[in-house]
Amino acid sequence: MSEPQPIYLSDYRPPAYRVTHTELTFDLDPAATRVKARLHLERHPERQAGEPLELDGEQLALKAIAIDGQSLGEDEYTLTERGLRVEQVPERFRLDTEVEIAPKDNTALEGLYQSSGMFCTQCEAEGFRRITFYPDRPDVMATFSTTVIGDAASLPVLLSNGNPVERGSLPGERHFVTWEDPHPKPSYLFALVAGDLRKVEDRFTTLSGREVTLQIWVEEENLGKTDHAMASLKRAMRWDEETYGREYDLDLFMIVAVNDFNMGAMENKGLNIFNSAAVLTHPHTATDAAFQRVEGIVAHEYFHNWSGNRVTCRDWFQLSLKEGFTVFRDQCFSADTNSAPVKRIEEVSFFRTAQFAEDAGPTAHPVRPDHYIEIGNFYTLTIYEKGAEIVRMLRNLVGWEAFRRGADRYFARFDGQAVTIEDFVGCMAEASGQDLDQFLRWYSQAGTPEIDAHGEYDYANGVYRLVLRQRTPATPGQPDKQALHIPIRLGLVGTKTGRDLALTLDGEALGRDAVIHLREDEQEFVFTDVEEAPVPSLLRGFSAPVKLHYPYSREDLAFLLAHDSDGFNRWDAGQRLALLALDDLIAAHRNGVEKVMDPRVVEAFRALLDTDTDDKAVLAEMLTLPSEAYIAEQQPLVDVDAIHAARLFVKQSLALALRDDFLRVYEANRLDAPYAPEPEQIGARSLKNVALSYLMSIEDEEGIELARHQFEADHNMTDVRQALTLLTHSSRGDLADPALRAFGEKWAHDPLVMDQWFSIQVTRPQSDALDRVKFLMDHPAFSLTNPNKVRALIGAFAQNRVNFHRLDGEGYRLLADVVIELNRLNPEIAARLVTPLTRWQRFDEARQALMKAELERIRGEELSPNVFEVIEKALA
């Protein structure tokens, strides 16, 4: 086999032929599904006459082919591994093909496959080519008419995009339904579902009065788990009307839950397909976090109907055009429906841990990559989350009103088209009158910019000078970086009053909270009429996706933690303060010196525990120490054991010093009311459960009793899961084992709960975690062909820092073994799973060698393009 080759953005050309209308007929059979396609094609006006027709197609057995009704002889077309080529075709013509495919053998879960007996599809990004021969690229947009034929008894429900227009019986106990989708769409938005499904139905009336039927299709046993998704969908529909003026455009909107799915969900036109984990909830099976995730994903897929479907991407290099914008939209929706500050804290803490790591590793890439081997590898945190941060900066730069006008312009001008990131930013520039040329560099430059900030207060003149210096580290293929346009929201907090001081910059009064624009490598900002010495509060709300360094003293940080008017930065000051203390303790651990807890941190936490706040969720975040993964991000070289020991030491010291406060907070936040996934309850539960985690860190007898009781009371999954996690992660087998056993037996029938049971066990810090993984891989509820199971067991174990990074290399070996097996079964999942090994540069020499040896071992296999691309980058 030849090595997979990259494709380049600079090679983009419109397709030689475009499809105006697509007619499909599926005759479903697990081993031999027949797909007939009739494509109405015409030459693209920008391409010359006489060019050959090239169609994508993989793993298809061609049975028949005809142009304008005339069958083609074998010498009139060429078939390759990647597709079909017809040398001579008319300017406009009709192409008929018939192929055979085997959904039951499709373990990659791309194209048409089977999941728990049902048939379903996943076509983004390039799965449609495994269904039929087609110009499988997003800039070919056609209307679709789809007939699905299946066994009437086992497949009573036959779904596709758009509206059902005809149905009937066929000989041999089969039946059919024909669907028509009037909106032109690219092939990646095609969907088909067939199975023995039940539906929950509701209605929604759009602002202009269209009556929309909403359906959620699930397996019978999941009928009681759809309420939250349905309510979320209706909220999202209303929100998009009110916020962006976007209405739904068909009479029917369907969601289907499937158990085997590579990602969270998929925005197929009118027929969203969801990983069951991203749609099903019940107070007894799903945590608060899961409820919130479902709400966010339902909204995300719904919002794609405009940002992605009506206006789509010209090519896959533009993926962030739809994903960055849509993530930004779902983030704003969730902020509006929940606690906005806590939502932002959660987003940023995830972003700084995971996206920063990606941006600093061997697979770092720009938000708009300029080449790739396998697009499936580019559904990344950079494309999604950094893309969303860029859109957020845009919104902040131009202001909401201009942003909204820009969005209106974008949707109106490009409706029904496949466009580029410049088209989107161009609308924002036009609507605001701002020059966004330098800003566009955010899309082409990879790596996390670092800003060194330095401030000085001149008492005599009441002047505060802030010097900012930016640099973006080199990333693979991009040694030199240019200065970015970085918006920095800030305040100057007066040390006497604890209040934000009035800001005057270059004679202009900016209020007390303002945005300054860093565009050069280095810039000085001189604030005048500053009445008292300030502590600067910089990058409020995480106004740009950068690392900002300022030489804060611990006193400064304690001061900001107490006084900053920006809730986000108050939280961040606490994180920075904890990180400084952790630094000392990590060093002490390495040097074998006795660890001593910084009393300033204890006092800061004591004050937090005394705060009377409305937003308990924010307080819970403030009481949460930076994760081991985030601490690791801050270290030049990661010392897994020292980080673990230092963090545990801080946690235990706080628990010992503030035991009674934690107990009090626990008691004060117990709820008796029936479970509701609402902000107030969620906040109280988070706070209570954080308090419990401190008490359990010292295995306090009273804490243990509370955890046991919380587990047994079985009030809701949030509480049960936290209690089970704390019992399982304690050092006492007599606490862990009975609880795990009881839980495992109780929920053996529920795959989504069993996923949680797997993850809890394999993330325990005790040294038996690896043996548990091996043991659980043989558990009847585990399956290597189910991505949720792989993530819950193997993916979760790779997040278990002390045990995955064991010095005997057994953790790495186990991961590599699974990657090698999945490389054959499901390349997309295999390529994601290998990520932790690709970060080898961050560790000590011994671990580096072990990790690289496993990467080399993987490289020795016959690799899918997905795994090949990641391994090559990791070993480059």
Q: Which stretch binds ligand 0A1 (CB under 6 A): 260-268, 477-485, 669-677, 836-844?
A: 260-268
Nearer to ligand 0A1, 420 or 718 (CB): 420
Nearer to Zn ion, 326 or 725 (CB): 326
Kindly report the three-state secondary structure assignment for every residue of 182-247: EEEECHHHCCEEEECCEEEEEEEECCCCCEEEEEEEECHHHHHHCHHHHHHHHHHHHHHHHHHCCC
Nearer to Zn ion, 188 or 552 (CB): 188
Contact 819, 828 (CB under 8 A): no
To ligand 0A1, the closest distance from the beta carbon of 325 in angstroms equals: 11
Kindly report the three-state secondary structure assignment for every residue of 739-803: HHHHHHHHCCCCHHHHHHHHHHHHCCCCCCHHHHHHHHCCCCCCCCCCHHHHHHHHHHHHCCHHH
- Work out the angle between the directed axes of helices 640-657 and 599-610 (0-180°, nearest 10): 50
Nearest to 367 by CA among 353, 352, 354, 379: 379
User: What is the distance, to the nearest Å, from the Cα of residue 336 to the centroid of all Cα atoms in its chain?
Assistant: 19
Q: Which stretch binds Zn ion (CB under 5 A): 147-155, 315-323, 335-343, 678-686?
A: 315-323
Nearest to 22 by CA among 89, 127, 129, 96: 96
Q: Which does 265 bind (CB under 5 to 8 A by kind): ligand 0A1, Zn ion, none?
A: ligand 0A1
Both structure tokens of 69: 């009704």
Q: Which does 124 bind (CB under 5 to 8 A by kind): Zn ion, ligand 0A1, none?
A: ligand 0A1
Nearer to ligand 0A1, 263 or 345 (CB): 263
| Residue 388 binds ligand 0A1 (CB under 6 A) | no
Rule CB under 6 A: choose which of 56, 124, 288, 661 binds ligand 0A1: 124
Rule CB under 6 A: choose which of 22, 106, 114, 122 binds ligand 0A1: 122
Per-residue contact string for residues 319-348; x = within reach of ligand 0A1 by CB under 6 A: ----x-------------------------
Residue nearest to ligand 0A1 (CB): 263
Q: Which does 379 bind (CB under 5 to 8 A by kind): ligand 0A1, Zn ion, none?
A: ligand 0A1
Rule CB under 6 A: choose which of 136, 260, 295, 301 binds ligand 0A1: 301
Q: Which does 473 bind (CB under 5 to 8 A by kind): ligand 0A1, Zn ion, none?
A: none
Rule CB under 6 A: choose which of 60, 257, 263, 773 binds ligand 0A1: 263
Per-residue contact string for residues 318-357; x = within reach of Zn ion by CB under 5 A: -----x--x-------------------------------
To ligand 0A1, the closest distance from the beta carbon of 122 in angstroms equals: 5
Nearest to 536 by CA among 511, 515, 564: 564
Nearer to ligand 0A1, 264 or 498 (CB): 264
Residues with catalytic annotation? 301
Which residue type is seen at 120? C
Which residue type is seen at 711? F
| Residue 500 binds ligand 0A1 (CB under 6 A) | no
Nearer to Zn ion, 383 or 663 (CB): 383
What is the rounded CA–CA span in Å between residue 304 and residue 310? 8
Site for ligand 0A1 in 707-766 (CB under 6 A): none
Nearer to ligand 0A1, 124 or 564 (CB): 124
Both structure tokens of 491: 């305040």
Local structure of 345: helix, strand or coil: helix
Nearer to Zn ion, 181 or 267 (CB): 267
The sign of the dihedral angle between the CA atoms of 596, 600, 601, 607 is positive
User: What is the distance, to the nearest Å, from the Cα of residue 419 to the centroid of all Cα atoms in its chain?
Assistant: 23
| Residue 825 binds ligand 0A1 (CB under 6 A) | no
For residue 64, the cross-strand partners are: 98
To ligand 0A1, the closest distance from the beta carbon of 302 in angstroms equals: 11
Rule CB under 6 A: choose which of 101, 265, 717, 740 binds ligand 0A1: 265
Count the Cβ atoms, other than its own, within 10 Å of residue 291. 23
By CB under 6 A, the count of residues binding ligand 0A1 is 13
The CA-based dihedral angle spanning residues 867, 873, 875, 876, taken in that order and rounded to the nearest 10 degrees: 150
To ligand 0A1, the closest distance from the beta carbon of 246 in angstroms equals: 17
Contact 498, 561 (CB under 8 A): no
To ligand 0A1, the closest distance from the beta carbon of 266 in angstroms equals: 4
| Residue 379 binds ligand 0A1 (CB under 6 A) | yes
Rule CB under 6 A: choose which of 219, 240, 267, 359 binds ligand 0A1: 267
Per-residue contact string for residues 207-246; x = within reach of ligand 0A1 by CB under 6 A: ----------------------------------------
Contact 383, 319 (CB under 8 A): yes
- Work out the angle between the directed axes of helices 421-432 and 319-337 (0-180°, nearest 10): 60
Contact 160, 271 (CB under 8 A): yes
The CA-based dihedral angle spanning residues 541, 542, 548, 552, taken in that order and rounded to the nearest 10 degrees: 20
What is the rounded CA–CA span in Å between residue 508 and residue 487? 17
Binding site for ligand 0A1 (CB under 6 A): 122, 124, 262-267, 300-301, 323, 379, 828
Binding site for Zn ion (CB under 5 A): 323, 326
